[in-house]
Amino acid sequence: MAEVVNASADNFEVALKDSEQRSQQGSAILLLLFLADHDAALGRSWCPDCVRAEPVINKAIESSSRKGRTVRLLRVYVGDRPTWRSPSHPLRIDRRLQLKGVPTLIRWENGSIIGRLEDYEAHLENKIEELLS
């Protein structure tokens, strides 16, 4: 079964702590997915890589859930393009995350990264499956 929680840079720390606790209680795989915000004028995300990757990631998580794995997805929206492009963006300067681009998919366990897919590979189904196994 998959559980999805949405967060932003502003409430990331609280959402991460809660997700860590819930994942540990239920022995769930915890994934952090960093995405660009939706642009109302476009009717979708301003980031074409996010538009391409998100449905593939969701499909892989659903498939993994059907196989009996419990997955908790913390979906973190990084902001609009100018906000994300700032070198001082809080998620860019977070030493634990070292985010360089979106989308970024991270498998998180015991307070650290145990696997990650960067923006150029986050849409590859086989890579997502490897991250989940």
50 is catalytic: yes
User: Across the strands, what pairs with 75?
Assistant: 6, 33
pLDDT, residue 112, reads: 95
State the catalytic residue, choosing from 28, 36, 47, 57: 47
Alpha-carbon dihedral of residues 59, 60, 61, 63, nearest 10 degrees? Answer: 90
Q: Count up the domains in the chain and report the number.
A: 1
- The domain that holds 82 is classified in CATH as 3.40.30.10
| Cα–Cα nearest to 47, from 34, 58, 32 | 34
- 50, 60, 128, 132: the catalytic one is 50
pTM: 0.95
Tokens encoding 29? 């795989």
Q: Give the mean pLDDT per block of 10 residues along the chain (133 residues).
A: 91 97 89 96 95 97 89 97 96 96 97 96 97 94
Residue 1: per-residue pLDDT:
59
Domain boundaries, position 48: 2-132
